[in-house]
């Protein structure tokens, strides 16, 4: 078995999907886990990107169905988490409006992130290293502070934190371990980016969100494809078991091996 075949099997990506079937399966998955956990609903951070938009649609359908079936209140809480002024924050609000989210909050992470960056730089000085925190390092702080805030809300509101992780991110390790990679449930995990885009069109994600370049929003001008040097079409072809160029295969598999620690449980002895 080739490494590509092993990876496809590991992540459970199908070469083709039926949108209605996938939505139903993933909504049922969310509903079952909410009931099993005894929680009151789901929390989803809506970044303005396509992944969180699809997850928000699934969450809202799941909690609406739970409420209708049980006669009890279940909520989907949409959380907007800009760092200062977010240029595409309107897309986050457009997603919430498209799926008629009744519960939304905005938690600006700028002050908390800057305080941690400042404390980190003070620690560098104590080590005789007079420098600023790196741009990627501060990006990781943003990811973790966003998750801390989500869990603070979820704990007191008895909600599950929903992740937007999918197979295309898992393949390249393109997430912050125990930052945006630490959640309670991941309804998109066996889909690649192309399939997430298929579901986005099916569930009615706004075109402005579908058409934008994918970014984790960690620093100005950052895009996933530019940072990785791999397009999502190439990534999705690989995960669907299709042939890709030798150069693309080498890049993907090198990135996969390099980031295995992100996909693995914390080692112990």
Single out the catalytic residue among 22, 91, 165, 169: 169
d(CA 42, CA 83): 23
Q: Is 88 a catalytic residue?
A: no
- From 22, 51, 224, 234, the catalytic residue: 51
169 is catalytic: yes
* Active site amino acids: 51, 169
């Amino acid at each position: 078995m080739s490494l590509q075949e092993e990876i496809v099997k590991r992540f459970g990506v199908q070469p083709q999907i039926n949108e209605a079937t996938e939505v139903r399966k993933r909504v049922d998955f969310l509903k079952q886990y909410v009931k099993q956990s005894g929680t009151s609903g789901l929390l989803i951070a809506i970044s303005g990107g396509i992944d969180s938009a699809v997850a928000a649609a699934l969450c809202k359908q799941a909690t609406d169905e739970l409420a209708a079936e049980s006669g009890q209140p279940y909520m989907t809480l949409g959380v907007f988490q800009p760092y200062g002024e977010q240029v595409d924050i309107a897309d986050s609000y457009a997603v919430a409006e498209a799926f008629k989210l009744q519960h939304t909050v905005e938690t600006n992470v700028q002050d908390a992130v800057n305080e941690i960056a400042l404390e980190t730089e003070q620690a560098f000085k104590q080590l005789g290293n007079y420098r600023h925190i790196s741009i990627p390092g501060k990006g990781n702080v943003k990811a973790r502070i966003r998750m801390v805030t989500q869990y603070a809300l979820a704990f007191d509101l008895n909600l599950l934190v929903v992740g937007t992780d999918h197979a295309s991110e898992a393949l390249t390790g393109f997430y912050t371990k125990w930052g945006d990679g630490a959640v309670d449930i991941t309804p998109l995990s066996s889909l690649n980016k192309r399939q997430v885009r298929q579901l986005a069109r099916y569930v009615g994600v706004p075109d402005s969100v579908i058409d934008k370049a994918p970014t984790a929003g960690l620093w100005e001008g950052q895009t996933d494809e530019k940072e990785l040097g791999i397009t999502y079409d190439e990534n999705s072809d690989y995960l669907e078991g299709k042939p890709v160029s030798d150069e693309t295969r080498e890049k993907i598999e090198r990135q996969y091996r390099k980031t295995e620690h992100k996909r693995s449980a914390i080692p112990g002895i």
